[in-house]
Structure 1
Amino acid sequence: MEWTAVTEHRAQLGESPFWDAPTQALYWVDITGRQALRLIGANVQIWQMPEHVSAFIPCESGDALVTLSSGVYRLDLDSPGLEPRLTLFCIADPQPGNRANEARCDAQGRLWLGTMQNNIGQGEDLPIVHRSGGLFRIDRDARVMPLLRGLGIPNTLLWSDDATSLYFADSLDRTIYRHFIRPDGSLEPGRPWFGPHERGGPDGSAMDAMGYLWNARWDGSCLLRLTLQGQVDRVIELPVSRPTSCVFGGEDLKTLYVTSAASPLNHPLDGALLSIRVDVPGNVCQRFAG
Structure 2
Amino acid sequence: MTWTAVTEHRAQLGEGPFWDAPTQALYWVDIAGKQALRLIGANVQIWQMPEHVSAFIPCESGDALVAMSSGVYRLDLDSPGLEPRLTLLCVADPQPGNRPNEARCDALGRLWLGTMQNNIGENGEDLPIERRSGGLFRIDRDARVTPLLRGLGIPNTLLWSDDGTRLYFADSLDRTLYQHFIRTDGNLDPAQVWFGPHERGGPDGSAMDAQGYVWNARWDGSCLLRLTPQGQVDRVIELPVSRPTSCVFGGEDLQTLYITSAASPLNHPLDGAVLSIRLDIAGKTCTRFAG
TM-score range, shorter chain: over 0.9
Q: Distance in 2 between matches of 1:40 and 1:172?
A: 34
| TM-score, length basis structure 2 | 0.99
2 CA distance for matches of 1:123 and 1:49?
Answer: 14
Which structure 1 segments of 5+ residues have no match?
A: none
Counterpart Cα distance in 2 of 1:38 and 1:126: 28
Q: Which amino acid aligns with 1:253?
A: L
Partner secondary structure for residue 192 of structure 1? strand
Partner of 2:25: 25
Distance in 2, matches of 1:271 and 1:185, equals 36
Residues of 2 paired with 1:123 and 1:38: CA distance?
21
> How far apart, CA to CA, are the structure 2 residues paired with 1:123 and 1:62?
31
What is the identity, as a one-letter code, of the residue corresponding to 2:104?
R
1:266 is aligned to 267
Match of 1:203 in 2: 204
CA distance in 2: counterparts of 1:222 and 1:2, whole angstroms: 14
Whole-angstrom distance in 2 between the partners of 1:124 and 1:162: 41
Corresponding residue for residue 190 of structure 2: 189
- The residue that corresponds to 2:157 in the other structure is 156
Aligned-pair CA distance for 1:195: 1.6
Look up the match of 1:64: 64
Partners of 1:245 and 1:76 in 2: CA distance = 25
CA distance in 2 between partners of 1:77 and 1:123 (Å): 25
Counterpart mapping for 1:244-283 below 5 A: 244-283=245-284
Q: Helix, strand or coil: the match of 1:176?
A: strand
8 Å contact 2:36–2:53 — kept in the other structure?
yes
Provide TM-score, normalisation by structure 1. 1.00
Task: Report the AA paired with residue 91 of structure 1.
Answer: V
Give me the whole-angstrom Cα distance separating, in 1, the residues matched to 2:247 and 2:153: 21
The alignment partner of 1:102 has SS state of strand
Query: Aligned-pair distance for 1:95?
Result: 0.0
1:156-235 matched pairs, under 5 angstroms: 156-235=157-236
Flag as ranges the 4+ runs of structure 1 deviating above 3 A. none
| C-alpha distance after superposition, 1:97-143 (max 9, x if no partner) | 00000000000000000000000013321111010000000000000
Give SS of 2:212's match.
Answer: coil
Instruction: Report the AA paired with residue 4 of structure 2.
Output: T
Q: Deviations over 1:210-240 (max 9, x none)?
A: 0000000000000000000000001000000
Q: Per the alignment, in what secondary structure is the counterpart of residue 16 of structure 1?
A: strand
Q: Distance in 2 between matches of 1:207 and 1:123?
A: 30
Report SS of the residue matched to 1:56. strand
After superposition, the CA RMSD in angstroms is 0.4
CA distance, structure 1, for counterparts of residue 44 and residue 289 of structure 2:
22
Determine helix, strand or coil for the equivalent of 2:276: strand
What SS does structure 2 have at the residue aligned with 1:239? coil
Partner of 2:94: 94
Secondary structure of residue in 1 paired with 2:136: strand
What are structure 2's unaligned runs of at least 5 residues? Answer: none
| Structure 1 residue 14: Cα displacement | 0.1
Tell me, in whole angstroms, the C-alpha distance in 2 between the residues paired with 1:160 and 1:129.
33
Q: Equivalents in 2 of 1:175, 1:149: separation in Å? A: 16
**What are the residue-to-residue correspondences of 1:105-144 with 2, within 5 Å?**
105-121=105-121, 122-144=123-145
Taking the aligned partners of 2:260 and 2:46, their CA distance within structure 1 comes to 16
Using a 3 Å threshold, how does the CA distance of structure 1 residues 123 and 66 change in structure 2: closer, same or farther? closer
Identity across matched positions, percent: 88
- 1:130-189 Cα offsets, whole Å, 9 max, x none, are 100000000000000000000000000000011000000000000000000000000001
Query: Partner of 1:50: helix, strand, or coil?
Result: coil
2:34 is aligned to: 34
Number of positions where the alignment pairs a residue of Structure 1 with one of Structure 2: 290
Tell me, in whole angstroms, the C-alpha distance in 2 between the residues paired with 1:63 and 1:8: 26
